[in-house]
Structure 1
Amino acid sequence: MDAQSTGAYGRAYARSSTDPEGFWLAAAALVDWDKPPARALEDAGAPLYSWYPGAELNTSFNALDRHVAAGRGDTAALVYDSAMLGTVRTYTYAELLAEVERFAGVLRGLGVGPGDRVIIYLPMIPEAVIAMLATARLGAVHSVVFGGFAPRELAARIDDAGPAVIVTASGGLEPRRTVEYLPAVAEALKTATHRVNAVVVAERAGFAGTREEYDGTGGAAWYAWDALAAVAEPAGPVPVAATDPLYILYTSGTTGSPKGVVRDNGSHAVAMAWSMENIYGVGPGQVMWTASDVGWVVGHSYIVYGPLIAGATSVLYEGKPVGTPDAGAFWRVAAQHGVNVLFTAPTALRAIRKADPGAAEPGNYDLSRLRHLFAAGERLDPATLQWAQAALGVPVIDHWWQTETGWAICANPVGLEQLPVKAGSPTVPVPGFAVRVLGPDGKQVPAGTEGNIALELPLPPGTLRTLWGSDERYRAAYLEVFDGYYATGDSGYLDEDGYLFVMGRTDDVINVSGHRLSTGAMEQAVGSHPAVAEAAVIGIADPVKGQRPSGYVVLKTGIEIDPEVLRAELVEQVRSQIGPVADFKDVFVVDALPKTRSGKVLRKTMRQIADGVPHTVPSTIEDPDVLEALTAVLRPSSAQSRSTQSRSAQSRPGES
């Protein structure tokens, strides 16, 4: 039976489809308005739409003031846990509001007002949350740039967003290094053509660069956060139109001209409130920890805005899943702060599984308050899902969404109704999202047939309103591929029960001797091997077959296996699960896979290197050395040398 036809989820989905106006007007009651919406949706000239036209509110007020006014000022709002410093600090709603009011006063004193942009270039410290909420409080627009981005990339975002102020810190902390921010900001200011008025620095001990030595760089005055905050007058919330922008977020992997996703105030607040209650089942008095970074959309939605709008407690973690100090780092944080819902990326789970394949670490901590583990950012392979579920004894919920959508497209909506889990699937479309699978001709394909995943327009509240500075670019990038649809760029299929299976980006579908095959399906087969911690499969250009699949695997820590035995077993697994047509023969054991900071494997870049075509390494890459080390494996001089290398590359099993 179609999962959408029964129970609380089915009823909600049906109403969102047949009466979106009524459904989303009812959802709007979850937030506080200065001017309530009289209607939900307005056609702004198809394919562009806007939500809650004519309404007014302030997002910062909804995240803070209203909870204090309701008598919950003493409730914990934010728990800052720094594994790097070994410190924990808890902010109540009243304390966080006071900090935000004060820093909003700082920004106002620097000339920031409604519609002005503020770039936030900070590590995972409380100042990042405070700066975001303070900017929103003034009706201004923030653009958070992942701390540590290269100066060239920061300069591109400065020129695109045109900020009045940059908020930064002395630097960020990594397990084995410190990252100096001030030289990067200074270089970016010199490179950018846009002139920034001021730079505000949250000063941290242990860094070489000082604010004083950079004061005046790029024509900007550089100030100390603490000095300005000490004399600033607190600022109240400024009501803005629901359709006014809240933030700009540049998508990972951006090359050339940055692509800034614009999120508005009103529909974003509604989507956050609705999703916290109905997808995650989190409300006041409960603790949510999203182990991500505020530089990514996940951090915006579910470290900062979602939990605070819902009146819950949010954990802000400065550390890594392993190495701070061990593979039990996540479980220590979850136990110490009584986390009810943990949200992380599959890549973090795979890193923990690699270091602790027997799942010994969770038993060292009291995880009795943990109800659900959510994962997103990369496809959650069945092997990792099953490992995590067995290790924690709680449901592990895969869900799928994008920077552009701002919240889940498909999920298991545990707050509404927990549906059966199907390994490899993020479950079913969330109310508001009409998910379709289309063929190249734009027509829907039958259940079980892989195709292009697209979303019927209009998109629901909380999704991107446009791209910064260009409605036309938004149309061209997303809305003109298939008439009447938003093109996700992902491929997959819907099964007979309405469950979606996302197999990868559309350019990860390869053509082997005329057969279109999903590398995601092959990765799923390879990743199910008990020795494999992570896997990536890419299509390599082949003069005879068009393309052939090539697999790259990272072994679990301590695994000893003969290279030829492993290769033979993986080839057989792909053969049995996909079929001989996959022609999967090449297997390479590598120390690590190249990834973005959000955990996405750089498959496209790997494929470009292997094929010897020009490529640009994404600015979001986590560790360039990993890609450099892999280049020798990816670029053999001939097919024969590649065949030889596929064995020699495995000469050190267990070293991963």
Structure 2
Amino acid sequence: MSRYHQVYESWKSDPEAFWRDAANLVDWTRPPQQIFDADAGIYGRWFPDATCNTCWNAVDRHVERGRADQLALIHDSAITGTVRKFTYAELKAEIVALAAVLSDAGIGRGDLVVIYMPMVAEAAIAMLACARLGAVHSVVFGGFAARELATRIDDARPKAIITASCGLEPGRTIPYQPLYDGAIDIAKHKVETVIVLQREQQAADLTPGRDIDYASATAKAKSDARDIPCVSVNATDPLYVLYTSGTTGQPKGVVRDNGGHLVVLAWSMENEFGVKPGEAFWAASDVGWVVGHSYIVYAPLIHGCTSILFEGKPVGTPDAGTYWRVISDHDVVALFTAPTAFRAIKGQDPKGEFVKKYDLTNFRTLFLAGERADPETIKWAENQLQKPVIDHWWQTETGAPITQNPVGLGSLPVKYGSPGVPMPGWQMEILDDSGHPVPRGTLGNVVAKLPLPPGSLPTLWHADERFKSAYLAEFPGYYKTADAGIIDEDGYLFIMSRTDDIINVAGHRLSTGAMEEVLSEHPDVAECAVIGMADPMKGQVPCGFVVLNAGVDRPAADIEREIIALVRNRIGAIAALKTVVPVKRLPKTRSGKILRATMQKIADREEWTMPATIDDPAILEEVEVALRGRGIRPLR
């Protein structure tokens, strides 16, 4: 029996008592007396009178209490074929050494440091070293173009940058020096210090007077036996700023505070993910995204787990069995990844031949999040792994799951297409565009009742008014998720699409997510995306893009007819799907989200700019070629 309903009702009946109890999972330098101050900040602040240090909670306390020799962090690079392992004691030594280097560069409590790193252990060490000093870190995805990095430098105004000489992709090396040097040249704000990790694949030239060699500086700090204690900060002080894309083109700096973040992540590991201290947990994401912050670096370490930091891809490094190899090698009990990763694996290995090659005996649960998990991908993973597959949903802004099937509290029945039920702290509602509640099962705007729970953003970096206008103004008393969905009679949430992915066909609001769900059911389809194309008669009509499974050699016209018939049968003629375009690949961000908005602009012959987060720009050219083959003529 699941304890979920009992636990959720205990939160709902007395939120402050619930979070006071959860706060006992955290070491405080001054424990909270007041749990919530409704008059502080924009919608209230959690643990306003408490003080703490996040690095202490993630590392030091485990060293002192019996986990010094337990593995804390494993860096597994499928690209270089190397594995590095750090016990909690070894991780602390690395963090202290880098904290000493930062301290010597004048970095202290409240100062901001940009971290521009590939997927190396030093990226996590850099985040924790900043936290140790009470400094604020802002991780920018490694390999972002110079102009994108410069935009974030100007907004964040860092005193230092921690970076590396290069990043690695399958078959290529990406020099970082032209990117960070270019960004520093472009930016109006001038950075005083750059700490550079030299990688053997390609070295960078250090700029005298500005650049510090990471390895030699930290080695000296170790030889000098430097000791940098954890700096106590207010629970409401920022731990980090993480930029997410904004509709105006200006990135939004999501602020994460120390205290609430500690509490909600500590609570989530066992209650939501069902993972115990000492077990190995793997979030196959990037430290540049919120999943990497919450569930590679912070939550597993706060909970006393072993965390896996992986440099590679789900396919191609070297094959579609890479994930199973990592799980087997490091005795991983739970994997958290994006649905797009599993669609890629399914496309390359539809029969799951690679799964059989590895020992997954101790593997318990697969968690999917990042974009909508279509039921066919979940069913495929269930069939291949014979393990529970749990979809869940959250955002950069929230820092932890909004809805989940909480394994640790006892699993609820799985409903395909739903990322579960609201977690404590989240009261979800569906409103129409005028802000009125809609009946259960009706599509509308997904919103959360204020106040947001601990760990959620209190504001945007130096932009309180933008925070209000972007998230709170449209539906007073609620946080706007900008997602569209439904809540069913059992309280399960179904996220159907972003609100700007709802298309209007002859006055009927239709979800592209619902159509994608049908397309993915076709046995020849590995991945798909549906966009709304402009139509002079109906306003918009759907256009489906499909990536076929490896080995499919049937005529594309036959597959198109079958897909159109399938949509007509499942959704109805109202869907008006008449165009299905086979493509080699779908354009995605580096975190695996499909760039539907850009695809729509291409199909509608609108001006568009190359998304900064795109994984491979060449894919958009492939989309254009495919559209031309169907008589749709993009501008370029």
What TM-score bracket applies, with the shorter chain setting the length?
over 0.9
* CA distance in 1: counterparts of 2:396 and 2:620, whole angstroms: 24
CA 1:234–1:631 in 2, change beyond 3 Å: closer, same or farther?
farther
Note if 1:223 corresponds to 2:212.
Answer: yes
Match of 1:397 in 2: 390
Note if 1:210 corresponds to 2:199.
Answer: no
Match of 2:329 in 1: 336
Match of 1:36 in 2: 31
* CA distance in 2: counterparts of 1:625 and 1:428, whole angstroms: 39
The 8 Å contact of residues 596 and 622 in structure 1, kept in 2 or not, is answered as yes
The 8 Å contact of residues 606 and 634 in structure 1, kept in 2 or not, is answered as no
Note if 1:274 corresponds to 2:267.
Answer: yes
* CA distance in 2: counterparts of 1:461 and 1:113, whole angstroms: 25
1:425 Cα deviation from its structure 2 partner = 0.6
CA deviation vs aligned residue, 1:486-529 (integer Å, no higher than 9, x gap): 00000010111111110010111111111111111000000110
1:600 Cα deviation from its structure 2 partner = 0.7
Note if 1:200 corresponds to 2:175.
Answer: no
- Within 5 Å, which residues of 2 pair with 1:500-519? 500-519=493-512
CA deviation vs aligned residue, 1:364-405 (integer Å, no higher than 9, x gap): 000011100000001000110000011111000000010011
The 8 Å contact of residues 200 and 222 in structure 1, kept in 2 or not, is answered as yes
TM-score, normalised relative to structure 1 = 0.94
Match of 1:174 in 2: 169
- Within 5 Å, which residues of 2 pair with 1:124-135? 124-135=119-130
User: Partner amino acid for 1:370?
Assistant: F
1:45 Cα deviation from its structure 2 partner = 5.3
1:283 Cα deviation from its structure 2 partner = 2.2
1:635 Cα deviation from its structure 2 partner = 6.6
Match of 2:347 in 1: 354
Greater CA deviation, 335-344 or 6-15?
6-15
Greater CA deviation, 133-142 or 7-16?
7-16
CA deviation vs aligned residue, 1:521-550 (integer Å, no higher than 9, x gap): 000000110100000000000000110000
* CA distance in 2: counterparts of 1:495 and 1:241, whole angstroms: 40
Report the 3-state secondary structure (helix = DSSP H, G, I; strand = E; otherwise coil) of the residue aligned with 2:589: coil
User: Partner amino acid for 1:224?
Assistant: D
Note if 1:48 corresponds to 2:43.
Answer: yes
Number of paired residues? 630
1:605 Cα deviation from its structure 2 partner = 1.1
- Within 5 Å, which residues of 2 pair with 1:263-412? 263-412=256-405
Report the 3-state secondary structure (helix = DSSP H, G, I; strand = E; otherwise coil) of the residue aligned with 1:308: helix
Report the 3-state secondary structure (helix = DSSP H, G, I; strand = E; otherwise coil) of the residue aligned with 1:249: strand
* CA distance in 2: counterparts of 1:289 and 1:327, whole angstroms: 17
Match of 1:558 in 2: 551
- Within 5 Å, which residues of 2 pair with 1:444-483? 444-483=437-476
* CA distance in 1: counterparts of 2:554 and 2:10, whole angstroms: 54
Match of 2:145 in 1: 150
The 8 Å contact of residues 611 and 635 in structure 1, kept in 2 or not, is answered as no
Match of 1:112 in 2: 107
Note if 1:237 corresponds to 2:226.
Answer: no
The 8 Å contact of residues 2 and 411 in structure 2, kept in 1 or not, is answered as no
CA deviation vs aligned residue, 1:12-33 (integer Å, no higher than 9, x gap): 1112112111000110000100
CA 1:50–1:388 in 2, change beyond 3 Å: closer, same or farther?
same
User: Partner amino acid for 2:432?
Assistant: G
1:417 Cα deviation from its structure 2 partner = 1.7
Structure 1, unaligned runs of 5 or more: 1-5, 647-656
Match of 1:123 in 2: 118
Runs of at least 4 residues off by over 4 Å: 252-255
1:322 Cα deviation from its structure 2 partner = 0.7
Greater CA deviation, 132-141 or 608-617?
608-617
User: Partner amino acid for 2:357?
Assistant: N
CA 1:253–1:393 in 2, change beyond 3 Å: closer, same or farther?
farther
Note if 1:641 corresponds to 2:631.
Answer: yes
- Within 5 Å, which residues of 2 pair with 1:131-142? 131-142=126-137
The equivalent position to 2:182 in structure 1, one of 180, 187, 196, is: 187
1:583 Cα deviation from its structure 2 partner = 0.8
Give the percent of matched residue pairs that are identical in Structure 1 and Structure 2: 56
The 8 Å contact of residues 38 and 44 in structure 2, kept in 1 or not, is answered as yes
The equivalent position to 2:20 in structure 1, one of 17, 25, 35, is: 25
1:258 Cα deviation from its structure 2 partner = 2.0
Note if 1:599 corresponds to 2:588.
Answer: no
The equivalent position to 1:524 in structure 2, one of 505, 510, 517, is: 517
- Within 5 Å, which residues of 2 pair with 1:609-620? 609-620=602-613
* CA distance in 2: counterparts of 1:60 and 1:444, whole angstroms: 43
Note if 1:97 corresponds to 2:92.
Answer: yes
1:453 Cα deviation from its structure 2 partner = 0.3
Report the 3-state secondary structure (helix = DSSP H, G, I; strand = E; otherwise coil) of the residue aligned with 2:66: helix
Report the 3-state secondary structure (helix = DSSP H, G, I; strand = E; otherwise coil) of the residue aligned with 1:415: helix
The 8 Å contact of residues 255 and 619 in structure 1, kept in 2 or not, is answered as no
- Within 5 Å, which residues of 2 pair with 1:412-427? 412-427=405-420
1:46 Cα deviation from its structure 2 partner = 7.5
Match of 1:567 in 2: 560
Match of 1:251 in 2: 244
Match of 1:652 in 2: none
CA 1:421–1:585 in 2, change beyond 3 Å: closer, same or farther?
same
* CA distance in 2: counterparts of 1:47 and 1:341, whole angstroms: 36
Report the 3-state secondary structure (helix = DSSP H, G, I; strand = E; otherwise coil) of the residue aligned with 1:497: coil
Structure 2, unaligned runs of 5 or more: none
